[in-house]
A and B are shown apart, each in its own frame.
Chain A
Amino acid sequence: MALLEVTDLSIQFGGLKAVDNFNLTIDEHELVGLIGPNGAGKTTVFNMLTGVYLPTEGDIKIDGESIVGKKPYEIVRCGAARTFQNIRLFKDLSVLDNIKIAYHHELNYSTFEGIFRLPRYWKDEKTAHENCLAFLDIFDMGDYASIQAKNLPYGKQRKLEIARALATKPKILMLDEPAAGMNPKETHELMDTIQLIRDKFDIAILLIEHDMHLVMGICERIVVLDYGKIIAKGTPEETRNNPDVIKVYLGE
């Protein structure tokens, strides 16, 4: 059974059909790219997958469980985590706290136990602290643990956002234009990070991206969207040579 199963997904804003009959299946441990020119509906698809928009038609299933109509935080619990096109970190908090917030569900003590500092608070907080630090170390960010997130360089901020999404222990990670605004060096670093995630975590990735170099370099399958419709599907090689895709991107 596929990990993520999207069937006939459509959304209508007034008279505009922003996404029309979108179908997609992602298997475990797969890396799929979603590309398309500006305004093609990529982010709209994303927002439906993560519960921000309610689709007018169609169904989304994660591990066989429908997530349509669920709140974003419930969808996170179902195993889908995301990052944002314009980085959204908890800016005034430390890097470590950013991770700890995503790690919230792993802690079990109640509000009462937390307020009166009962034994379970100390035990849980200690393991959380250690686990989150170890988690940062995977991404080579252990040294930054106590720095405010807003003071990180841009590439590291993106890395932290991805790490934070992974701290929720998702089955599928959705990255919304992770390379937006990055210079070639940072993009390269990002590719390394994605590779690292694939090696260390048992996870599927859905990637929206404009940077062709990145998409062609790492994706196993690519879906091309234009005006809300899928116009091509296939391996990077097939997509690159697809006449429709060339037409959309370069004109006739």
Chain B
Amino acid sequence: MNKNTIKSYLVNFLAVIIIFALMKLLMNIGIINRYYQGIIVFILINIILAASLNLATGFLGQLTLGHAGFMAAGAYVSASTAIMIKANFGWLPNIAILLISLIIAGIISAIVGVAIGIPALRLRGDYLAIITLGFGEVIRVIINNIRFTGGAQGLTGIPRISTFDNVFWITVLIVFILYTLTHSRQGRAIVSIREDEVAAEAVGVKTTRFKVMGFAIAASFAGIGGGLYAHYIAFLDPNTFNFMRSVEILVIVVLGGMGSLTGSIIAAIVLTILPEALRSFADYRLLLYSFLLIIMMIFRPAGLLGTSEFSWKSIYDRYKYRKESIIKREKA
């Protein structure tokens, strides 16, 4: 194990703890009120959704437009599981109920992902985008029309068990898993499919297997994100998970940079806060939002971070490099 890697893991872990402690402190002294806290939770959920979509779209290179469908599947599975547990095993602590519901939601979403992925991933590019869009809508329409999901009236009575604390740590865990996954031999195989599927197959990568695997993991985490959403809002309306929701997640991924998890995190923060911050502009809100996106795509079409990850080391290296080049110039 390399010393530098240990150091960078430690630095990142410390940074996460500091951010968490800071947030808790600000909440306790009341600077972050309930409204802000809600926005932060939505940011975290959007991070989960965008990071998981990034695995399918950014790393695997498969453009999918049905991510809200997996989110919906996860949200409803998690919500109904929690309602059931609450009714029969009410003595369980909230965190246990949440974790059990989320794990079941993740597994069911992954199964849905595999079921959709096996036929859909035979297609590429635009065709795949359209077929996943279709599947996403199918999931929504099914939910709208069956009984135990509450249909179009929505599902009520969901235990409100997502809190800032557990959403935060689940997000950290998911981003960590996605990062280590994409930086392992399996991750390299996944990225090689994005780069050139024919070449990947020609060097022995089992393309179908890794495509389905990437897609299933993305679906599973989207389901967990949906579950956290359900337990925070405590009410589910099928129309929240429409096509526009998928597009919103995709916009976060594209803006942050396809193939950059840290990019997705930054973009999720920006794009969740922005519509809220622009509330005072009332009718011009969406106009400004779209305008910003257009500007962004003109000046940085690869997204905020492109395919690279944000790291303290690269900033430090750049700083060092600049300092060295200044010294060199002065000597000359």
Considering the complex, give the chain A residue whose CB is closest to the CB of B1. Answer: A122
The answer to whether A107 and B195 touch across the interface, beta carbons within 8 angstroms, is no
The smallest C-beta distance from B261 to any residue of chain A, in angstroms, reads 14
Cβ of B202: which chain A residues have Cβ within 8 Å of it? 50, 72-73, 76, 81-82, 84, 88, 165
* CB-defined A-B contacts under 8 Å, sample of 9: A73-B201, A73-B205, A73-B207, A89-B199, A101-B203, A104-B188, A107-B185, A116-B180, A168-B203
**Does any Cβ of B come within 8 Å of A240's Cβ?**
no
The smallest C-beta distance from A169 to any residue of chain B, in angstroms, reads 10
Cβ of B200: which chain A residues have Cβ within 8 Å of it? 90, 101
**Does any Cβ of B come within 8 Å of A117's Cβ?**
yes
Q: Given contacts A102-B204, A122-B1, list 19 more A-B pairs with CB under 8 A.
A: A73-B201, A73-B202, A73-B206, A76-B203, A82-B202, A88-B198, A92-B307, A93-B192, A101-B188, A101-B200, A101-B203, A104-B204, A104-B205, A107-B185, A109-B184, A111-B213, A114-B180, A115-B184, A124-B185
Separation of A92 and B195 alpha carbons in the complex (Å): 7
**Does any Cβ of A come within 8 Å of B186's Cβ?**
yes
Query: For chain A residues 100-138, which have a beta carbon within 8 Å of chain B?
Result: 100-102, 104-105, 107, 109, 111, 114-117, 121-122, 124-125, 128
The answer to whether A121 and B184 touch across the interface, beta carbons within 8 angstroms, is yes
The answer to whether A109 and B185 touch across the interface, beta carbons within 8 angstroms, is yes
Cβ of A177: which chain B residues have Cβ within 8 Å of it? none
The answer to whether B185 and A114 touch across the interface, beta carbons within 8 angstroms, is yes
What mask results when residues 204 to 230 of chain B are scored 1 for a CB within 8 Å of chain A, else 0?
Answer: 111100000100000000000000000
The answer to whether A164 and B180 touch across the interface, beta carbons within 8 angstroms, is no
The smallest C-beta distance from B217 to any residue of chain A, in angstroms, reads 9
Separation of A109 and B200 alpha carbons in the complex (Å): 20
Contacts known (A101-B192, A107-B185); A164 close to B203, Cβ less than 8 A: yes
Q: Which 10 A-B pairs rank lowest in CB-CB distance, beginning with the nearest?
A: A114-B184, A90-B195, A76-B204, A88-B199, A102-B203, A72-B201, A101-B192, A122-B1, A107-B185, A115-B180
**Does any Cβ of A come within 8 Å of B189's Cβ?**
yes
The smallest C-beta distance from B122 to any residue of chain A, in angstroms, reads 14
**Does any Cβ of A come within 8 Å of B324's Cβ?**
no
The smallest C-beta distance from B258 to any residue of chain A, in angstroms, reads 11
Contacts known (A107-B185, A122-B1); A90 close to B192, Cβ less than 8 A: yes
The smallest C-beta distance from B44 to any residue of chain A, in angstroms, reads 20
What mask results when residues 88 to 99 of chain A are scored 1 for a CB within 8 Å of chain B, else 0?
Answer: 111111000100
The answer to whether A117 and B180 touch across the interface, beta carbons within 8 angstroms, is yes
Question: Which residues on A are within 8 Å of B, measured CB to CB?
Answer: 50, 71-73, 76-77, 81-82, 84, 88-93, 97, 100-102, 104-105, 107, 109, 111, 114-117, 121-122, 124-125, 128, 164-165, 167-168
Considering the complex, give the chain A residue whose CB is closest to the CB of B184. Answer: A114
The answer to whether B185 and A104 touch across the interface, beta carbons within 8 angstroms, is yes
Separation of A232 and B213 alpha carbons in the complex (Å): 48
Separation of A50 and B198 alpha carbons in the complex (Å): 11
The answer to whether B199 and A84 touch across the interface, beta carbons within 8 angstroms, is yes
**Does any Cβ of A come within 8 Å of B16's Cβ?**
no
Considering the complex, give the chain B residue whose CB is closest to the CB of A71. Answer: B201
Query: For chain B residues 173-191, which have a beta carbon within 8 Å of chain A?
Result: 177, 180-181, 184-189, 191
Cβ of B184: which chain A residues have Cβ within 8 Å of it? 109, 111, 114-115, 121, 125
Separation of A125 and B197 alpha carbons in the complex (Å): 23
Separation of A181 and B187 alpha carbons in the complex (Å): 33
Q: Count contacts on B: residues with CB < 8 A to the other chain.
A: 26
Separation of A109 and B206 alpha carbons in the complex (Å): 16
Separation of A121 and B180 alpha carbons in the complex (Å): 11
**Does any Cβ of A come within 8 Å of B196's Cβ?**
yes
Cβ of B203: which chain A residues have Cβ within 8 Å of it? 76, 81, 101-102, 104, 164-165, 167-168
The answer to whether A104 and B189 touch across the interface, beta carbons within 8 angstroms, is yes
Contacts known (A82-B202, A90-B199); A101 close to B180, Cβ less than 8 A: no
Cβ of B195: which chain A residues have Cβ within 8 Å of it? 89-93
Contacts known (A88-B198, A90-B192, A104-B189); A77 close to B204, Cβ less than 8 A: yes
Cβ of A89: which chain B residues have Cβ within 8 Å of it? 195-196, 199
Interface centre among A71, A90, A102, A121 (most CB of B within 10 A): A90
The smallest C-beta distance from B205 to any residue of chain A, in angstroms, reads 6
The answer to whether A105 and B199 touch across the interface, beta carbons within 8 angstroms, is no
Separation of A114 and B198 alpha carbons in the complex (Å): 25
Cβ of B181: which chain A residues have Cβ within 8 Å of it? 111, 114-115
Separation of A84 and B199 alpha carbons in the complex (Å): 8
Interface centre among A84, A104, A105 (most CB of B within 10 A): A104
Cβ of A115: which chain B residues have Cβ within 8 Å of it? 177, 180-181, 184
The answer to whether B196 and A88 touch across the interface, beta carbons within 8 angstroms, is yes
Interface centre among A50, A73, A93 (most CB of B within 10 A): A73
The smallest C-beta distance from B295 to any residue of chain A, in angstroms, reads 25
Give which listed residue, A73, A92, A109, A114, contacts B204 with CB less than 8 A. Answer: A73
Give which listed residue, B180, B192, B204, contacts A105 with CB less than 8 A. Answer: B204
